[in-house]
Amino acid sequence: MPSLLLHREHTDVPWLLRLARAKLQVRGRLPGAFGFDLATDTYRQALRAGIDPADLVRLALPGSWMVNNKVPSPVFQRWLQPALRPIWSRLVGLLAGDASTWLARDADERAQVAADLRLLAQHDVAARSGAPMNGPDSPAPGTAAGLSKVLALLCPDTVPLMDDAALHFALGVVPRPNTADIADTPSAGPGPFLPMLDWFARTVLAHAATLASIAADYTYAPLSPAQALDRLLWFETWGYRVCRQPTAWAWVADGEREAIVPVPSPPAGPPGTRIDLAAVADPAWAQTAREALHRAGQTD
C-alpha cells in the first residue's frame, strides 16, 4: 500500500501517511461520507452540463451536512438570497479546475476569492446574530470549515474540507482539537482559506501519481486524486478517532516510528492523542501495536 510523505507549513518534520488505501476504504463505509462522495460526482456532471453554480448551491448547502457542517439553516437562507447569486457563481468559477489551475490564478483573482469569502462570512455572522449587514469585516468563527464543506461539493479538485484538525495539521494556524465538542465548534474564520488552498494544491501535485493510483482503486464512488488526498487528510487528522469498524485505530509511536494504525481499543487516556509505546503499561497491547506499526511499514 502506498504511503504519502506530507510536508507541513508549521514544522520541518514531515508526516508519513501509511495504509492509504485501507484508510480510504474504511472512511467510505461511513454513511455520510458515502453520500457526500456520490453527490460530489453528480455535481461534477451537473457543472459540466452547464447548470449555473448558483442553482447547485441550493442543493450543496444541505448536502454539506453529510460531512457534519455545523452551519445552521438560517445562514443557508441568508446565503441563498438573490443578491448573492453572482457571488456564488463567480466564486465557484474562480475555484473551478484543478490544483494547477488554482496555483496559476493571478493576484487579482486571488483577491476576489478572498473578498467573496469575507462577504459570505459577514452574512454568516449577520444571520446568526440577527444583525443587519453593515460596518467593517466581522469575525466569523468556523467559516473556513462551513464554506469549505459547501465548496468541496462544487469544486472538489481544489477545495478540501477545512475542519480545525486539518488546518492545524497543514498550516498550524489553529490549535489541534482534542475532544469532539471542540471539533464540533470550528474556530477558523475565512483567513486560512487561501493558504489552505495553496498547501492542498501543492501537495496534490507533489503526489499526483500516487494519489491517482489510490483514487483508481477506490470502490465506493468516483474520486479524483485531489479528493483522495482530502479524504485521507480527514481520516489522518480526525477520522481515525471515529472509524472503529471493523477495528479501532490509534496514533502510536515507537521511537522514531509513528503512524495511525489499526489496533485493539487503546488503553485508557485521552482519545486520539499520540501513544508512546514505551510508556504503555500493558505490554501485550504495546506489542500488538508495535506489530501493527511494523506491518504498516512493510506494506508501503
For residues 165 and 270, membership in a common domain is answered with: no
- Per-residue pLDDT tens for 230-273? 999 999 999 999 888 788 999 999 998 999 999 988 776 677 88
For residues 57 and 192, membership in a common domain is answered with: yes
For residues 185 and 82, membership in a common domain is answered with: yes
Nearest to 181 by CA among 31, 70, 267, 64: 70
- The whole-model pTM stands at 0.93
For residues 138 and 79, membership in a common domain is answered with: yes
Q: Are strands 248-254 and 15-17 parallel, antiparallel or unpaired?
A: unpaired
Domain-ending residue, one of 183, 202, 221: 221
Q: At what angle do helices 31-48 and 53-63 cross, to 10 degrees?
A: 180
* Predicted local distance difference test score (pLDDT) of residue 186: 92
- Per-residue pLDDT tens for 107-136? 999 999 999 999 999 888 888 776 565 544
Backbone angles phi, psi at 165, to 5 degrees: -60, -40
For residues 58 and 144, membership in a common domain is answered with: yes
Spatial distance between the Cα atoms of 258 and 250, rounded to a whole number of angstroms: 10
If one counts every other C-beta atom within 10 angstroms of the C-beta of residue 122, the result is 21
Backbone angles phi, psi at 10, to 5 degrees: -105, 5
Q: What Rg do the C-alpha atoms of the chain give, in angstroms?
A: 20
- Beta-bridged to residue 260, according to DSSP, are 251
Overall residue count recorded for the chain in this entry = 300
- Per-residue pLDDT tens for 135-181? 445 556 679 999 999 999 999 999 999 999 999 999 999 999 988 88
Q: Is residue 226 part of a domain?
A: no
For residues 141 and 263, membership in a common domain is answered with: no
For residues 214 and 253, membership in a common domain is answered with: no
For residues 28 and 136, membership in a common domain is answered with: yes
The total number of structural domains that make up the chain? 2
For residues 72 and 175, membership in a common domain is answered with: yes
Q: Is residue 235 part of a domain?
A: no
> Is 41 within 8 Å of 221 (Cβ atoms)?
yes
For residues 215 and 266, membership in a common domain is answered with: no
Domain-ending residue, one of 203, 221, 239: 221
**DSSP helix/strand/coil, 248:** strand
For residues 141 and 281, membership in a common domain is answered with: no
Q: Is residue 68 part of a domain?
A: yes
What is the extent of the structural domain holding 276? 248-299
> Is 300 within 8 Å of 18 (Cβ atoms)?
yes
For residues 114 and 180, membership in a common domain is answered with: yes
